[in-house]
Amino acid sequence: MAIKNIIIVGGGTAGWMAAAALSRLKNNNLVDITLVESEAIGTVGVGEATIPPFVNFNELLEIPEHEMLAAVQGSFKLGIQFVNWGQVGDSYIHPFGAYGYSMGGISFHQVWHRLRQEGDRRPLQVFNVETMAAYFGRFSRTQDYTRNGARDDLPPVNYAYHINATAYAAFLRKYAEARGVVRQEGKIVDAKLDPESGDVISVQLDSGQVLEGDLFVDCSGFRGLLIEQALETGYTEWTHWLPCNRAVALPCNRDDGSPPPPFTKATAHPAGWQWQVPLQHRNGNGHVYCDSFMEADEATDILVQNMAGKPTADPNHLRFVTGHRKKFWNRNVVALGLAAGFMEPLESTSIHLINTGVDKLISMLSLDGITDAQRDTFNRLTEREYARIRDFLILHYKATERTDSEFWNYCRTMDVPDTLTQKIELFKANGQIFREEDELFTETSWAAVMMGQRIPMIGHNAIADTLHLAKTKAELDEMEKSIRFAVDSMPSHEQFLAQYCPAKEAA
């Protein structure tokens, strides 16, 4: 059956990202697109940190970066600082860019390890521009610090954003509505299925209005109004590997007047961890924890005691189960965002999974109708993507030496998927990291977390020993100088924001 009407169920970040991307189909009036949301139903809206592919999403929509960031009180993000994960007192940054560059056909950390065995004591971090800029609170885009005849041998800057997710959804709403998407206010109270095919054919609002559709995009959050409540798709749970199942979120002012740092901060606590996401005028904060090891009141107290200022709202308590639907595209319903699954926000992948879900939907969508091949391919690719992100998140919990709480004892000793065990063992043996096809996280990502959380790299690739020692050391000296020059050339993050994208209003 031809697709003429697309119904998006739910707004928020997922719904309006889908609407904005699909609005391109309105150019030639190929379909009608309706988004249904209710002002009475709040959105989770705590995922305010993104990763670099999100920059590409906005570029695809031809959204001016500075306009978007000004509208959402946004700031820039060079990586994530992890505190207290390996041991209490530890700190490292997982940067968005690579350490150095490939030398002799092997990864830079292999060469660095060889030189370290020869007595070079420089930490790996000094060979990464994002890490060094983050430590010094500086930021600039590549095109800004290489302009006006400056050196062209400087490393590129890879970045993402911190955004007010609620404001971003509102920004995309204006974008989508201007391009023909119709917003329908109302709460969905029923869904009607075709008795023969089992497809969803319509949804009914609390006003009694019925909306018919050919393709439904479920962005209704944890409830999964269509994908679960109507179609009973089922859920694959990963709580035994990712035990955190609660969160409390709370924005605050930066009462000490400190500037927004260009990185997200994730601080481990006795039964979970706390995020700090700096916007231009406030911080987003949250404490992710496991209720088998900590009560909600204690989790809230820990959060409040470790924030940069006084809360500006009441605590928002969330319950979740880490995992995903057994099918992401079931019959004529595609689930996105929290309706599809939940990967806790440790590596800021929530918005990314919306992004890639939208990308896959658009690339596979045929307005002539829906085929089994489309559904099966969408589900296979998405399930694989979730599993690879899952392993990377599990690594943060498994790779710890903490013995100070029952929670960390459980994480340190738990069994993990064979795919993760193999990655850890390969790295221990000679620092080898194999990326599988289009896996999201890079060699740098895996190396940063493994080394940052004390997984020992016993040996290195034998090719590193064939490189001329003095020439290699001289090359690393130049690399370090280039990175220092790049960082010294950057303004402070606060100065860059004030000049490039000052927020239109305080968050």
Residue burial 208-241, b: 16+ Cβ < 10 Å; e: rest: eeebebbbbbbbbbebbbbbbebbebeeeebeeb
Q: Are 428 and 454 contacting, i.e. CB atoms less than 8 angstroms apart?
A: no
* Mean pLDDT across the chain: 94
Give the per-residue pLDDT at 147.
60
The token pair at 63 is 């959204």
**What's the pLDDT tens digit per position in 150-164?**
556 678 899 999 999
Q: Are 66 and 501 contacting, i.e. CB atoms less than 8 angstroms apart?
A: yes
Task: Let me know the angle formed at the C-alpha of 112 by 109 and 117, rounded to the nearest 5 degrees.
Answer: 130
The kind and range of the H/E element at 485 are helix 469-488
Tell whether the model's pLDDT for residue 40 goes beyond 90.
Answer: no
**What's the pLDDT tens digit per position in 453-465?**
999 999 999 999 9
442 closest CA partner among 129, 77, 97: 97
**pTM summary value:** 0.96
Q: How confident is residue 266, by pLDDT bands cut at 50, 70 and 90?
A: very high
**What's the pLDDT tens digit per position in 199-223?**
999 999 999 999 999 999 999 999 9
Amino acid type, 238: W
The kind and range of the H/E element at 7 are strand 5-9
Q: How confident is residue 43, by pLDDT bands cut at 50, 70 and 90?
A: low
Task: Put residue 291 in one of left, alpha, beta given phi > 0 → left and psi -120 to 50 → alpha.
Answer: alpha
Q: Report the share of the chain in percent with pLDDT over 70.
A: 96
Strands (E), 228-375: 235-237, 246-249, 264-269, 272-278, 283-289, 316-319, 323-325, 329-330, 333-335, 341-342
Mean pLDDT of 311-340: 96
Mean pLDDT of 74-78: 97
Mean pLDDT of 407-436: 96
Give the per-residue pLDDT at 148.
47
Mean pLDDT of 82-103: 97
Tell whether the model's pLDDT for residue 47 goes beyond 90.
Answer: no
**What's the pLDDT tens digit per position in 229-242?**
999 999 999 999 99
Mean pLDDT of 308-336: 96
Give the per-residue pLDDT at 1.
80
Residue 467 three-state SS: coil
Give yes or no: 77 in active site.
yes
Mean pLDDT of 126-141: 97
Tell whether the model's pLDDT for residue 45 goes beyond 60.
Answer: no
Give the per-residue pLDDT at 28.
73
CATH code, residues 5-48+164-237+323-388: 3.50.50.60
Phi and psi, residue 471, nearest 5°: -65, -40
Q: Which residue in 4, 77, 473, 504 is the catalytic one?
A: 77
Q: Which residues pair with 93 in a beta bridge?
A: 81
Mean pLDDT of 362-390: 96
Write the secondary structure of 9-30 as one string of H (helix), E (strand) and C (coil). ECCHHHHHHHHHHHHHHHHHCC
- Calpha distance 505→507 (Å, rounded): 6
Give the per-residue pLDDT at 505.
65
Task: Let me know the angle formed at the C-alpha of 464 by 462 and 431, rounded to the nearest 5 degrees.
Answer: 70
Mean pLDDT of 427-451: 93
Amino acid type, 181: V
Residue 124 three-state SS: helix
Helical packing angle, 418-430 and 443-452, nearest 10°: 80
**What's the pLDDT tens digit per position in 168-196?**
999 999 999 999 999 999 999 999 999 99
Q: N- to C-terminal Cα distance for the chain? A: 45
Give the per-residue pLDDT at 143.
85
Tell whether the model's pLDDT for residue 507 goes beyond 60.
Answer: no
Q: How far is CA 108 from the centre of its chain?
A: 25
